[in-house]
Chains A and B, each alone.
Chain A
Amino acid sequence: DAKTTQPTSMDCAEGRAANLPCNHSTISGNEYVYWYRQIHSQGPQYIIHGLKNNETNEMASLIITEDRKSSTLILPHATLRDTAVYYCIVRVAFEANDYKLSFGAGTTVTVRA
C-alpha cells in the first residue's frame, strides 16, 4: 500500500526550476515528508525533509500544502547532474519504530540541455 504517489517521469530544461510533485493524501499529522534521489548506479542521496513548514537548504526547497496532502520539491536551477530518480517518502516523526524507508518507483527526472 503506497503512501505516496509521484509521476513516473518528467523532463526539465537545464537552468530552469524543476518542480516535482508528490501526493500523500493519507499522511498523518506526525509524519514527515522526506525526499531522496538516486543518480544512476549510486546510493540514494538525502535531499530534504519537512513536517509542516516549507523548508529550504542548499540543494532544494520543499513546499508542503497547508492540508499536508501533497508537496512539491523544487530544484531551483536544474543542471544535467540533477538527472536522477527522485523518491518522496513519508515517515513518522520521532517514532523509533518507523525506520524502514519505503522507496516506491519515484519520478525519473531528465534534465535536458
Chain B
Amino acid sequence: NAGVMQNPRHLVRRRGQEARLRCSPMKGHSHVYWYRQLPEEGLKFMVYLQKENIIDESGMPKERFSAEFPKEGPSILRIQQVVRGDSAAYFCASSPSATETQYFGPGTRLLVL
C-alpha cells in the first residue's frame, strides 16, 4: 500500500509565477490536510479537504492560495503570484476519516527566486 505521494518534490518559481503542488492520498483515504513549514519553524495547518469539499481553510492565507480535491485525481494546492515569503516546505497528510491518524507525504519544497 503506497504511502501519501506528493509531487513535485522540489519546485523553483520566480516571483509572480504560479505554483501547483499535488498530493495523492493513501489508498482508501478520503480526507486530505495541507500543512506548511517555513524555514526553522514548525508545521502549521493550512486546509482540510474531503472529496470535492473544502472543510476548513482557516489556515490558508486569504489571498493567492487555493486548494481543491476533485472527485478524480490528486488534491492540488495552488499558489498564485508567488512571493519570496512563500518559500517553504508544503506537506500533505491523509486519513481514512477525520478522527483517525494522519499520515504525511514527503513534502514539496518550494523555492521562490
Which size bracket describes the interface of A in this complex? 20 to 34
Q: Does B25 contact A (CB under 8 A)?
A: no
User: Which one of A8-16, A21-29, A101-109 is at the B interface?
Assistant: A101-109
Q: Within A76-113, which residues are at the interface with B (CB < 8 Å)?
A: 87, 93-97, 99-106
Which size bracket describes the interface of B in this complex? 20 to 34
Number of A-B contacts (CB under 8 A): 55
Are A96 and B104 in contact, CB atoms less than 8 angstroms apart? no
Give the nearest-CB partner of A97 in chain B.
B98
Are A103 and B43 in contact, CB atoms less than 8 angstroms apart? yes
A113 to chain B, nearest CB (A): 27
**CB neighbours of A106 from chain B (8 A):** 42
Contact with A along B39-80 (1 / 0, CB 8 A): 000111100100000001001000000000000000000000
The 4 closest A-B pairs by CB, nearest first: A43-B104, A96-B98, A103-B42, A100-B45
* 21 A-B contacts (beta carbon < 8 Å): A34-B101, A36-B104, A42-B107, A43-B4, A43-B6, A43-B105, A44-B91, A44-B93, A46-B102, A46-B103, A87-B42, A93-B99, A96-B99, A97-B98, A99-B48, A99-B56, A99-B98, A101-B33, A101-B43, A101-B45, A106-B42
